[in-house]
């Protein structure tokens, strides 16, 4: 009995809190919290953490959490200040008509991208209390989908405009050079390597990976590759979503809705090489994350399969068996409090 209690105690100590953002439905009413075991990949049943309609993206940074919120009087962002994982302060700013789809926090600055309205909102936190600093308009049909920071620049993939817009943060967010993509590509999400010498972008419409070499504010396209299996016939149904790079910067992962796969690339050499198209263990994979020890990949399957915990081979980068899963309807974003 003593050994059992000791074992249970050790398991509790190693558990990591996870949070999932959802589209609103009867079974998904906001931000949910679950526990993840990084040793065996098990996930507990998610429980409602904070009710907020269409809290589809969750950003956890230090002792704060930010996510979209929608109310009768408007939409915008909800800012929580946390202590030991519990809410001690809640603030809302409702300056938009529809909820943003992506949120990034950098220190005391918070950036949101709104796909529907084509704007970027910039907030500043002062002891947890937010204030709106600026609204950047990119056009009603810009399709803003993400925020990235590179040196003095703020980058915004504008899917509907087939470009990534750049703004100079040191010059009042003045527009800088854009990265222009082929017509019909639809750049959605990107990720830099650690020293920002490489930039990987995935396109939703053309389902392609674009690899750029970066030097300062200059981006040079080096490679374009398909994220779909060779001979794939359902191209009109497929839509690439999220992209992540492993800590050792050797492997790149991309989720593809419609095809319901996770495409894996070896990026350790001069060119990105496809090494696997793995099942997402569900339907309509959206966001996904690698666990802190990178032994597992957790993916949010919106339509079927909920949160899937998939084992990962750290040496080869390949995805292996489904280790565990938890039901979570309409799940679209994930974060772990590692």
**pLDDT score of 149 more than 70:** yes
Note the pLDDT of residue 1. Answer: 46
Note the pLDDT of residue 85. Answer: 87
Which residues, in sequence order, are CB contacts of 119 under 8 Å at separation 6+? 96, 135, 136, 137, 138, 142, 144
Q: Strand 153-158 vs strand 163-168: parallel, antiparallel, or unpaired?
A: antiparallel
pLDDT digits (tens, 9 = 90+) for 11-26: 667 899 999 999 999 9
Asked if 92 and 56 count as a contact pair (C-beta separation under 8 A), the reply is: no
Asked if 70 and 77 count as a contact pair (C-beta separation under 8 A), the reply is: no
Q: Tell me which H or E stretch contains 66.
A: strand 64-71
Asked if 282 and 305 count as a contact pair (C-beta separation under 8 A), the reply is: yes
Which residues, in sequence order, are CB contacts of 232 under 8 Å at separation 6+? 238, 259
- Rounded Cα distance between 179 and 27, Å, is 40
Task: Give this prediction's pTM.
Answer: 0.95
Which residues, in sequence order, are CB contacts of 62 under 8 Å at separation 6+? none
- Rounded Cα distance between 32 and 20, Å, is 5
**pLDDT score of 164 more than 60:** yes
pLDDT digits (tens, 9 = 90+) for 110-147: 999 999 999 999 999 998 899 999 999 999 889 999 99
**pLDDT score of 71 more than 80:** yes
pLDDT digits (tens, 9 = 90+) for 206-261: 999 999 999 999 999 999 999 999 988 876 789 999 999 999 999 999 999 999 99
- Range with the poorest average pLDDT among 2-6, 74-78, 122-126, 202-206: 2-6
Instruction: Tell me what the mean pLDDT of segment 314-335 comes to.
Output: 97
């Amino acid at each position: 009995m003593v050994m059992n209690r000791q074992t249970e105690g050790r398991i509790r100590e190693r558990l990591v809190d996870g949070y999932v953002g959802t589209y609103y439905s009867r079974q998904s009413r906001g931000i949910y919290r679950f526990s993840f075991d990084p040793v065996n990949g098990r996930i507990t049943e998610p429980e409602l953490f904070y009710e907020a309609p269409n809290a589809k993206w969750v950003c956890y940074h230090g002792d704060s959490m930010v996510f979209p919120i929608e109310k009768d009087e408007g939409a915008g962002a909800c800012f929580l200040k946390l202590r030991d994982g519990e809410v001690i302060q809640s603030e809302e700013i409702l300056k938009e008509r529809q909820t943003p789809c992506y949120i990034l926090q950098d220190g005391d600055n918070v950036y949101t991208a709104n796909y529907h309205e084509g704007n970027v909102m910039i907030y500043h936190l002062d002891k947890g209390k937010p204030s709106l600093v600026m609204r950047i308009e990119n056009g009603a049909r810009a399709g803003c989908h993400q925020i990235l920071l590179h040196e003095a620049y703020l980058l915004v993939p504008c899917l509907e405009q087939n470009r990534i817009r750049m703004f100079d943060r040191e010059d009042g967010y003045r527009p800088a050079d854009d990265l222009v993509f082929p017509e019909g590509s639809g750049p959605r999400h990107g990720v830099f390597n650690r020293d920002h010498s490489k930039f990987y972008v995935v396109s939703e419409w053309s389902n392609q990976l674009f690899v750029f070499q970066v030097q300062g504010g200059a981006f040079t396209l080096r490679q374009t590759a398909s994220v779909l299996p060779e001979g794939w016939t359902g191209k009109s149904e497929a839509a690439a979503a999220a992209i992540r790079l492993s800590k050792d910067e050797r492997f790149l992962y991309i989720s593809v809705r419609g095809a319901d796969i996770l495409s894996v690339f070896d990026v350790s050499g001069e060119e990105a090489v496809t090494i696997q198209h793995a099942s997402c263990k569900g339907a309509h994979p959206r966001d996904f994350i690698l666990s802190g020890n990178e032994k597992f990949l957790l993916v949010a399957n919106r339509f079927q399969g909920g949160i899937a915990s998939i084992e990962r081979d750290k040496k080869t980068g390949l995805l292996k068996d489904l280790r565990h899963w938890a039901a979570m309807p309409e799940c679209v974003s994930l974060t772990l409090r590692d």
